[in-house]
């Protein structure tokens, strides 16, 4: 490895340390969910190594638990992780036009909220060695945290496992509360999501659908309605 590439790679490793620590803690709770869905440690490791997305992977585990099929799993994962399409489009503007497609695909493999935030803040084009160094430890932390959660779920009493599975919901609440406090539109969407989700589970015909399908319908309806009713103006995007 060239000295400059080595320097960039090590810098990426350093920047990935705090992300990896956070991912490990969250992935432990995800591993508990995976265990409740019937996955073993190897399956959980493979899932997290290939899908570094908390909401998307959690949705996939719910589909597995319901035995709803591969198509439903694909739809759930795409809907839950749709924001990564936008992040990848933005990130592509920070890649050199001469960058080979293989590097573009590898950099696009692990675009998460945290990794996107770190890379987009760097001046100039994103160097592949830096991105690969940044990705390494978080992927290891995410995968190993999932495995540890599954192993713990196999050892701990059922009551403890069920209690620990609630921790992941706490993470999702921690994600939505800060923006909901700052933005009334987000608060409205959160409350509407809660109420409609409950209504969908009680309304005839809709309640017959799987939880995954109800989630997909709600996500598309609410996000579409928000885009039509509360469009973000270009000057607001620039200010953000």
| Three state DSSP letters for the chain | CCHHHHHHHHHHHHHHHHHHHHHHHHHHHHHHHHHHCCCCHHHHHHHHHHCCCHHHHHHHHHHHHHCCCHHHHHHHHHHHCCHHHHHHHHHHCCCCCCCCHHHHHHHHCCCCHHHHHHHHCCCCCCCHHHHHHHHHHHHHHHHHHHHHHHHHHHHCCHHHHHHHCCHHHHHHHHHHHHHHHHCHHHHHHHHHHHHHHHHHCCCCCHHHCCHHHHHHHHHHHHHHHHHHHCCCCHHHHHHC
pLDDT at residue 168 in the model: 58
Per-residue pLDDT, averaged over 205-212, amounts to 74
Which segment of 40-44, 197-201, 226-230 scores lowest on mean pLDDT? 226-230
Per-residue pLDDT, averaged over 163-189, amounts to 72
CB 214 within 8 A of CB 201: yes
Per cent of the chain over pLDDT 90 is: 25
Quickly count: other Cβ atoms within 10 Å of residue 16's Cβ.
25
Q: Within 13 A of 190's CA, how many CA atoms are on the CB side? A: 16
- pLDDT higher than threshold 70 for residue 162: no
pLDDT at residue 155 in the model: 80
* Pairs from 190-199 (Cβ < 8 Å, separation ≥ 24): 192/222, 193/218, 193/222, 196/221, 196/222
pLDDT at residue 170 in the model: 65
- pLDDT higher than threshold 90 for residue 178: no
């Amino acid at each position: 490895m060239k000295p400059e590439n080595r320097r960039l790679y090590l810098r990426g490793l350093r920047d990935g340390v705090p992300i990896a620590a956070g991912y490990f803690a969250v992935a432990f709770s995800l591993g508990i969910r995976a265990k409740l869905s019937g996955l073993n440690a190897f399956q959980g490791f493979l899932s997290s190594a290939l899908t570094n997305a908390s909401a998307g992977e959690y949705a996939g585990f719910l589909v597995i638990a319901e035995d709803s099929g591969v198509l439903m799993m694909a739809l759930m994962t795409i809907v839950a992780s749709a924001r990564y399409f936008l992040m990848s489009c933005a990130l592509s503007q920070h890649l050199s036009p001469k960058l080979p497609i293989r590097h573009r695909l590898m950099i696009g493999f692990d675009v998460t909220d945290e990794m996107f935030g770190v890379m987009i803040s760097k001046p100039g084009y994103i160097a592949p060695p830096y991105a690969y160094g940044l990705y390494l430890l978080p992927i290891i932390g995410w995968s190993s945290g999932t495995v540890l959660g599954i192993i713990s779920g196999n050892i701990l009493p059922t009551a403890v496992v069920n209690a620990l599975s609630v921790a992941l919901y706490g993470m999702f609440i921690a994600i939505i509360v800060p923006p909901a406090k700052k933005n009334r539109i987000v608060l409205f969407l959160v409350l509407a999501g809660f109420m409609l989700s409950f209504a969908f589970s009680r309304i005839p015909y809709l309640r017959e659908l799987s939880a995954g399908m109800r989630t997909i319908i709600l996500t598309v309806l609410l996000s579409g309605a928000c885009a039509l009713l509360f469009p973000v103006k270009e000057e607001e995007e620039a200010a953000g």
